Amino acid sequence: MDLLKQRILKDGKVLDGDILKVDSFINHQIDPLLAFETGREFYQRFQNTHTQIDKILTIETSGIAFALCAGYHFNVPVVFAKKHAGRNMSLDVYQGKVYSYTKRTEYTISIAKQFLSPGENILVIDDFLANGQAVLGLLDIARQACANLSGVGIVIEKGFQPGGKMLRSQGVRVESLVVIDSLKDNNISFREA
Ligand code: 5GP
């Protein structure tokens, strides 16, 4: 997705530890126009899956905007997994574990059972795919709910980290709007489509 590549080149910053900082348009301040374009692109890529998509699943916080934009085009509900169970959270929940390599901690994500039903066709959307742990946590919850996975849509895949390969080797359809092959020497290089 050329618009996204150009924006990453213009405003993305490479931090130590192979981290791409995109908080001026994705992770903190959000560019609505770009976000809506990602939603349209996800729709174009996944609308011809043999099954109709019933629901979009993401994880708070940064996935929500992009999941919502995709959900608008599919005209389906968007459910986000919560990292912190507040007092108004249902107690009847599916839970999954996510290990964060960046924070070196494991945390629990929860989705109320009332928002995920057996047989529903699920599209998972997230902002980044690195080691794939966040997506695996969501897939585990979808499996517990006996929902069907239609695919995974990612805004930025870090192709030099193992998440994408691991998911695809399990037969998961992963569509990433851009794939970054390297962040070496502060140079952002994209994989050619
Ligand atoms: P994974 O579970 O695939 O290793 O990482 C998923 C999460 O880690 C993403 O949702 C994102 O929040 C965060 N993440 C991983 N790598 C990066 C990065 O280079 N930049 C930013 N901004 N977030 C990242």
**DSSP class per residue in 136-151:** HHHHHHHHHTTPEEEE
Which pLDDT score, from 0 to 100, does residue 51 have?
79
**Residue 156 phi, psi (nearest 5):** -130, 115
Closest CA to 112 of 95, 99, 98: 95
Kindly give the number of the ligand 1 atom that is closest to the alpha carbon of 137.
2
Query: DSSP labels for 51-66?
Result: S---EEEEETTTHHHH
Distances (CA, A) of 3 to 102, 141, 184: 27, 33, 22
Closest CA to 161 of 106, 101, 108, 96: 101
Cβ count within 10 A of residue 184 = 11
> Residue 138 corresponds to which amino acid?
L
151-174 pLDDT, tens digit each: 999 999 999 999 999 999 999 999
Q: What is the pTM of this model?
A: 0.96
Ligand 1 neighbour 137 (Cβ under 6 A): no
Residues of the chain with pLDDT under 70: 86-87, 89
* pLDDT the model gives residue 87: 65
Ligand 1 neighbour 41 (Cβ under 6 A): no
Mutating to test ligand 1, I would choose from 57, 102, 133 the residue with most ligand atoms within 8 A of its C-beta, which is 102
Cβ distance 73 to 39 under 8 Å? yes
Q: Do the beta carbons of residue 142 and residue 169 sit within 8 Å? A: no
Nearest residue CA, atom 9 of ligand 1? 128
- Number of separate domains in the chain: 1
Cβ neighbours for 167, distance < 8 A, ≥ 6 positions apart: 129, 132, 135, 136, 152, 174
Say how many Å lie between the CA of residue 158 and the centre of ligand 1: 9
58 lines ligand 1 (CB under 6 A): no
CA gap 187, 24 in Å, rounded: 18
User: Taking phi first (over 0 means left), then psi (-120 to 50 degrees means alpha), and beta for anything else, what does residue 59 get?
Assistant: beta
Nearest Cα residue to atom 23 of ligand 1: 128
Gap from CA of 130 to ligand 1 centroid (Å): 6
Domain enclosing residue 30, as ranges = 2-190
Longest Cα pair distance anywhere in the chain, in angstroms? Answer: 48
Residue 26 CA: nearest ligand 1 atom is 22
Question: What's 17's domain CATH number?
Answer: 3.40.50.2020
- Closest protein CA for atom 17 of ligand 1: 19
